[in-house]
Amino acid sequence: MKLVTYRKHPADSGHLGAIVGDLVVDLEELGMITGDALPGDMLDFIDLGPQAVEQTAAILEDLDGAFPLGTARPLANVTLLAPIPRTRKNVFGIGLNYVEHVNESAKSLDTSIELPKQPVVFSKPPTTIIADGDPIRHDGALTQQLDWEVELAAIIGTRARHVSEDEAMRHVFGYSVMVDVSARDNRRAGQWIVSKGMDSYAPFGPCIVTADEIPDPHNLELWLTKNGEEKQRSNTKNMLFKIPTLISDISAGITLEPGDVIATGTPEGVGAGRDPQEWMWPGDLIRCGVEGIGTLTNPVVRAG
Ligand code: MG
């Protein structure tokens, strides 16, 4: 399933929907009619566990497009929010997780040319998250080096504490797209939370594709354009530490909970690694995507 959080009206706080063709099916409304208790919120749905995914997919399949009156709306007529508009804890980011990006970073930033021996984990507060279409804030008083990083995001489905690599993938609910926006001139003694943690620095969405529909998350094209010009294109097969390693490593000491998000790192082609270096400025339009999931389009807007 492709799951979204969407607004029915401009002021509402978001409802759980499934994309079927060019429609959004409201799962809570549908459940009221079919007699299945389905929640209206993405995190509540993830909390129900893998059985709820199977059950809901079966309900949608049985209906075969004949959705009860009032439960389906044209996707074009609704506003999407981020699939999880506010995560329960900080988004986990993984730095230097594609070999070519390690090389370009070592040339232009303060990182080592040596490949990391264990995942480089940092975090982004929940207030970084914005939806497809929302503006990335450019505050010229805070940064003159705002950079892009397209990433595959893995969403945790079930509580993971000290899990092995073999067990890890069972804990994945699904996948999405995230931009790890980074103000390169705000790295402070190796600490990245200000650089990567400012408001609007995590465009996220447009949907979560459940894990059953992406049997191999390590063979997906990902790409990013600025003002229509391609800046990044790679494949998740080039990740240095794959998702089972990331989950095993983080969960060794930090409990991963339903709805937690791991942004799995970016490939080469970031602005800092280009010659000459390039940054994002107000008026720019960033588009990116991951194969099989969808695309994000976010304008850069003057703020502050
Ligand atoms: Mg990143």
Say whether both 108 and 249 belong to one domain.
Answer: yes
Q: Which residues contact 64 (CB under 8 A, 6 or more apart)?
A: none
**What pLDDT is recorded for position 35?**
94
Using the mean position of ligand 1's atoms as its centre, give its distance from the Cα of residue 152 in Å.
10
Using the mean position of ligand 1's atoms as its centre, give its distance from the Cα of residue 195 in Å.
11
Using the mean position of ligand 1's atoms as its centre, give its distance from the Cα of residue 263 in Å.
7
| CATH code, domain carrying 141 | 3.90.850.10
Angle at 94 between CA 282 and CA 273, to 5 degrees: 50
- CB-CB neighbours of 221 under 10 Å: 13
**Whether the predicted pLDDT of 137 surpasses 90:** yes
Say whether both 29 and 113 belong to one domain.
Answer: no
Evaluate whether residue 85 is within a structural domain: no
The protein residues having their C-beta less than 5 angstroms from ligand 1 (an ion) are: 149, 180, 266
Domains held by the chain: number: 2
Evaluate whether residue 86 is within a structural domain: no
Confidence grade of residue 109 (pLDDT, cut at 50, 70, 90): confident
End-of-domain residue from the set 25, 52, 80: 80
Say whether both 13 and 116 belong to one domain.
Answer: no
| CATH code, domain carrying 10 | 2.30.30.230
End-of-domain residue from the set 80, 111, 136: 80
Confidence grade of residue 108 (pLDDT, cut at 50, 70, 90): confident
**Whether the predicted pLDDT of 107 surpasses 90:** no
Say whether both 135 and 11 belong to one domain.
Answer: no
Evaluate whether residue 43 is within a structural domain: yes
Say whether both 28 and 116 belong to one domain.
Answer: no
Using the mean position of ligand 1's atoms as its centre, give its distance from the Cα of residue 102 in Å.
11
CA dist., res. 21 & res. 117, Å (int)? 43
Say whether both 166 and 297 belong to one domain.
Answer: yes
Higher pLDDT, 110 or 17: 17
Say whether both 191 and 64 belong to one domain.
Answer: no
End-of-domain residue from the set 26, 59, 80: 80
Q: Tell whether pTM > 0.85.
A: yes
The domain in which residue 143 lies consists of 91-302
Q: What digits encode the pLDDT tens for the residues 146-156?
A: 999 999 999 99
**Whether the predicted pLDDT of 297 surpasses 90:** yes
Using the mean position of ligand 1's atoms as its centre, give its distance from the Cα of residue 49 in Å.
28
**What pLDDT is recorded for position 296?**
98
Q: Which helix (H) or strand (E) holds 106?
A: helix 99-108
Using the mean position of ligand 1's atoms as its centre, give its distance from the Cα of residue 180 in Å.
5
Using the mean position of ligand 1's atoms as its centre, give its distance from the Cα of residue 98 in Å.
10
Say whether both 236 and 111 belong to one domain.
Answer: yes
Say whether both 176 and 280 belong to one domain.
Answer: yes
Using the mean position of ligand 1's atoms as its centre, give its distance from the Cα of residue 243 in Å.
14
**Whether the predicted pLDDT of 105 surpasses 90:** no
CA dist., res. 54 & res. 29, Å (int)? 18
For the chain, what is the mean pLDDT?
Answer: 96
Say whether both 99 and 54 belong to one domain.
Answer: no
